[in-house]
Structure 1
Amino acid sequence: MREELNQGLIDFLKASPTPFHATANLAHSLQVAGFKRLDERDPWHVESGGRYYVTRNDSAIIAIQLGSKPVLDSGLRLVGAHTDSPCLRVKPQPELQRQGFWQLGVEVYGGALLAPWFGRDLSLAGRVTFSRDGRIESRLIDFRQPIAVIPHLAIHLHREANQGWAINAQNELPPILAQLTGQENPDFRALLADQLAREHDLVADVVLDYELSLYDTQAAAVVGLHGDFIAGARLDNLMSCYAGLQALLKAGNEETCILVCNDHEEVGSVSCCGADGPFLEQVLRRCLPEGDAFPRIIGRSLLISADNAHAVHPNYADKHDSNHGSKLNAGPVIKINSNQRYATSSETAGFFRHLCLAEEVPVQSFVSRSDMGCGSTIGPITTSQLGVRAVDIGLPTFAMHSIRELAGSHDLTHLVKVLTAFYNSRGLP
């Protein structure tokens, strides 16, 4: 099971270089499993026992399995994650010509660790909007091949580089696409039109706009002397999306189970498809009883917010509270913060810990050092929007927000097992 899950995650990461691709792949897996697609613009006719999914902005998805048991009695079992990861995104007018090279102007999305982007074989993927025969359409594209690179500056020209390097995002991050010859006039939209023709066999009249991200073409892999680790891009937080999907597909048909994968978590979640927007509540209100029943259902429900946690790095152990440092391959981590950066309470933490014990899944606790700031997740945002109780958990990870992160190769199995048990649990606190 462990090898199969890890390989499935590796395949999912490779096929999902952007939130758009991740959402499309999640939707495809749900469709194959018998979930019916709902369109927000159409009337909905849902029924007990039905399995549905809905997307918004092509970058966020909610899957719902309406159980056979009355939801007013048993509540909702929700698992939340997010589809986006820090990266470099292409600007609207990106063409740069410097020293005979064609480069792209880029903008940093989210809290990216920038140094690892240098010297990587990069490709480009995302969503393109264009006109064709008088109609406006959008398609996902993925160049797949390495078409760009951000070379390092040689140590001879920057002798102090190893003493600390303040990277200027405007000047130092534009990747090189090609070396120009003659009177070439780079046209990025023409390049996108060519890719649309190659990938989708269509001719666009005009490329109107796009949302495109650079990504590392090196595939994720199981690594280490004994295969102890998974290394790859976007483990934060596609690992949780994939685990939630696998658990939902294993869920029984009695309880009402929901998987929500929002976009824009890395930049604050304030959008129509982010956790600080109306997406989840609007979908739930269309699928659940109205009036007084809705808040009663929410009061009986629980959200597991799954987002990666910081593992203790052996070279930087002093960055952690000595009593609360999580370890790779030691199970999911309950994340706690008294200032509500995480939504965990003693009640919800106790329930999750009980689930882990019942399933013989190891479980850990994480609290930041008292003299360091704490990150956050969709957990507190979703609870404030919906009023649902939540526990924030995640799999321990090194190098979070790097172009290549590292997690334990045993932990995905642990997470899928406990999330499956959650979806099938007969009673919530």
Structure 2
Amino acid sequence: MESSNFNPSLLRFLQSSPTPFHATQSMKSRLLEAGFLELREDDNWVIDEGGRYFVSRNDSSLIAFTTPTLDFFNTGWRMIGAHTDSPCFKLKPNAQVTRHGHHQLGVEVYGGVLLHTWLDRDLSMAGRATFKTESGDIKSRLIDFKKAIATIPNLAIHLNRGVNTDGFAVNPQEEILPILCDATNEFELKRVIQQQLEAEHDGLNISAILDFELSMYDAQAPAIVGLHDEYICSARLDNLLSCFVGMEALIASDYERPSLLICTDHEEVGSLSTCGANGPFLEDVLRRLSPNPEHYVRAIQNSMLISADNAHALHPNYASKHDKLHAPSINQGAVIKVNNNQRYATNSETSAVYKDLAEQEGYDVQTFVVRSDMACGSTIGPITSGEIGVPTLDIGLPTFGMHSIRETAGSKDAYGLYKVLSRFTKRATLIDR
């Protein structure tokens, strides 16, 4: 993809992906457009040499791969990993709440949300709904209201005089219920969901809404901002930014080396699920491709995974939060993440491979190590490495405001990572042993 088209395409992807379900749907559409074939886990697979394939699980996780050869045990895989989920508010099963003249929604905090950033924002709602048809079948469809339908107003400073000096702790049970409308209007949540499904999908013949997995999201569109267009500002940059970069890198590969993209759900809550990195999804796919146990182990040990997840950029207003020798800057290149306590899976060899690739493409590389007096986050890197034993690098694009409703990254960094990852998919030898 040309650099002039990259960020506009990224913004469109972010806009069309308000939930992991929609992100996976967006990736499916792009992969089909690029000539990939969709597989189903409950079907028999016939994998051809020279093929391009993808498979999804739970509608929220996806693995795409290329098979220029079926000799995986000698070639290994060039793997890129990311995650489809982001911190947000998810509706509770009994979400309909009416208080003091307003209809509201009861929500549960998903992941490490910066709660106060969700106040005074235009919110919409999207996700997956499951229903029974008039013929008795049970089906699921995605749903996206798209327009702003709710807000969580702040408390006026006149009623909270100490907010600017004493801080503001948000109570997630009582103070983050989105307001939908006033109580003079009729509101029945399942009826509203059914109406929206019928508006988005023709011919559903719904007899009853059985259940739903819906999330609130920021209705403001992604944007390029800055006096000289230096920044990308959007919801869900962590980690849809990496999903998009990895997907486009796979599509741009020369299809001469077996390459694989894995984008999994539930990273923000530990990855332990059927479709998370701490579940069996990746191993299930790889063992179907290499059913011989000896060949499977050889394939893994000839492989490498680059786990791409956003990194903390040096914030000019909070510089003391960084180790000054490991403080990455926005628009200065991707960030290798290192933690000797194995919160990141980077080692000297996987780091060296990336540095060599970046040098060949002419891009800078930065390094992040958390301050020794602060706790370190983690990624799917150590989880995947620990699950299947693949050598792994943790890397990310420097970001401000991680886990805010609206995050900020550099407008130059994503394309640079895309170019380096594209070269990675073509790499013949990883480490000469």
The alignment's TM-score, normalised by the length of structure 1, stands at 0.98
Q: Spell out the pairing of 1:123-202 with structure 2 (5 A cutoff).
A: 123-132=124-133, 133-163=135-165, 164-181=167-184, 186-201=187-202, 202=204
Residues of 2 paired with 1:70 and 1:361: CA distance?
32
Number of the residue aligned with 1:17: 18
Choose from 397, 400, 420 the match for 1:398. Answer: 400
Choose from 298, 310, 314 the match for 1:312. Answer: 314
Contact 1:2–1:410 (CA under 8 A) maintained in structure 2: no
User: For residue 408 of structure 2, what is the amino acid of its counterpart?
Assistant: L
Q: CA deviation at 1:3?
A: 3.4
SS in 2 for 1:171: coil
Number of the residue aligned with 1:65: 66
SS in 2 for 1:169: coil
Q: CA deviation at 1:72?
A: 2.0
Q: CA deviation at 1:289?
A: 4.6
Contact 1:71–1:255 (CA under 8 A) maintained in structure 2: no
> What are structure 2's unaligned runs of at least 5 residues?
none
Residues of 1 paired with 2:276 and 2:96: CA distance?
30
SS in 2 for 1:30: helix
Residues of 1 paired with 2:29 and 2:355: CA distance?
32
Number of the residue aligned with 2:30: 29
Contact 1:68–1:253 (CA under 8 A) maintained in structure 2: no
Residues of 1 paired with 2:73 and 2:17: CA distance?
36
Number of the residue aligned with 2:49: 48
Residues of 1 paired with 2:4 and 2:154: CA distance?
36
Contact 2:74–2:298 (CA under 8 A) maintained in structure 1: no
Number of the residue aligned with 1:205: 207
Number of the residue aligned with 1:251: 253
Residues of 1 paired with 2:233 and 2:110: CA distance?
21
Number of the residue aligned with 1:297: 299
Q: CA deviation at 1:187?
A: 1.3
Number of the residue aligned with 1:413: 415
SS in 1 for 2:423: helix
Larger displacement relative to structure 2 (50-59 or 195-204): 195-204
Residues of 2 paired with 1:140 and 1:171: CA distance?
29
Contact 1:69–1:255 (CA under 8 A) maintained in structure 2: no
Q: CA deviation at 1:287?
A: 1.5
Number of the residue aligned with 2:105: 104
Residues of 2 paired with 1:358 and 1:200: CA distance?
48
User: For residue 106 of structure 1, what is the amino acid of its counterpart?
Assistant: V
Residues of 1 paired with 2:254 and 2:72: CA distance?
14
Residues of 2 paired with 1:185 and 1:49: CA distance?
57
User: For residue 293 of structure 2, what is the amino acid of its counterpart?
Assistant: G
SS in 2 for 1:22: helix
User: For residue 314 of structure 1, what is the amino acid of its counterpart?
Assistant: P
User: For residue 157 of structure 1, what is the amino acid of its counterpart?
Assistant: L
Contact 1:69–1:254 (CA under 8 A) maintained in structure 2: no
SS in 2 for 1:111: coil
Q: How big is each residue's C-alpha offset from its partner over 1:365-407, in whole Å with a ceiling of 9 and x where there is no partner?
A: 0000000000000000001111100000000000000000000
**Aligned structure 1 segments of 4 or more residues deviating by more than 6 angstroms:** none
Q: CA deviation at 1:185?
A: 5.3
Residues of 1 paired with 2:196 and 2:371: CA distance?
48
SS in 2 for 1:170: coil
> What are structure 1's unaligned runs of at least 5 residues?
none
Number of the residue aligned with 2:116: 115
User: For residue 337 of structure 2, what is the amino acid of its counterpart?
Assistant: K
Residues of 1 paired with 2:424 and 2:249: CA distance?
9
Q: How big is each residue's C-alpha offset from its partner over 1:168-216, in whole Å with a ceiling of 9 and x where there is no partner?
A: 00100000000111xx653111110111111113331110001100011
Q: How big is each residue's C-alpha offset from its partner over 1:15-56, in whole Å with a ceiling of 9 and x where there is no partner?
A: 000000000110111111111111001111112111110000
Residues of 2 paired with 1:69 and 1:196: CA distance?
42
Q: CA deviation at 1:69?
A: 7.1
Residues of 2 paired with 1:224 and 1:180: CA distance?
41
Residues of 2 paired with 1:366 and 1:253: CA distance?
32
Residues of 1 paired with 2:119 and 2:51: CA distance?
48
Contact 2:124–2:150 (CA under 8 A) maintained in structure 1: yes
Q: CA deviation at 1:71?
A: 2.1
Contact 1:83–1:261 (CA under 8 A) maintained in structure 2: yes
Contact 2:76–2:258 (CA under 8 A) maintained in structure 1: yes
Q: CA deviation at 1:291?
A: 2.2
Q: CA deviation at 1:364?
A: 0.4
The alignment's TM-score, normalised by the length of structure 2, stands at 0.97
Number of the residue aligned with 1:7: 8
Q: Give percent identity, aligned residues only.
A: 54
Number of the residue aligned with 1:216: 218
SS in 2 for 1:348: helix
